[in-house]
Amino acid sequence: MKSFVVVSALLAVAMSAPADPYRPAPYHPAPAPYHPAPAPYHAAPTYKEEPAAYQYQYAVSDEYAGLNFGADEAPPYKPAPVYHGAPAPYKPAPVYKPAPVYHS
């Protein structure tokens, strides 16, 4: 009799569960993608460009194949300074007076 009560209780619990607990989720289509309006296009202003006053001269003085070549140029701007040579070695001096060291 006890087994009948246990079996009927288990059967009642099994029957009270939902009929189809495992089913796919309902279909919801993806939202439409957001595309902002294109930015307005404004053409850049144009300016009248005149050629730079650049002078370049080249000369050869051939005193019977001695060939003295030469070139000269004058840009309309001040050219950047050109550094020739190696940099000086860096030897920092201490900003304090070190304590004397005694060697034995």
pLDDT tens-place string over residues 74-93: 666 666 655 555 566 677 78
Question: How does pLDDT run across 29-40, given as a tens digit for each residue?
Answer: 999 999 999 999
The model carries a pTM of 0.21
Q: What angle do CA 52, 56, 58 make, to 5 degrees?
A: 170
Average pLDDT of every residue of the chain? 77
- Residue 7 main-chain phi, psi, to 5 deg: -65, -40
Q: Which tokens go with 49?
A: 């460009």
Reference 51, options 69, 75, 70, 34; nearest CA is: 75
Cα separation of the two ends of the chain:
106
Angstrom distance (rounded) from CA 55 to CA 74: 5
Question: How does pLDDT run across 7-23, given as a tens digit for each residue?
Answer: 998 888 887 767 666 77
Residue 99 banded pLDDT, cuts 50, 70, 90: confident
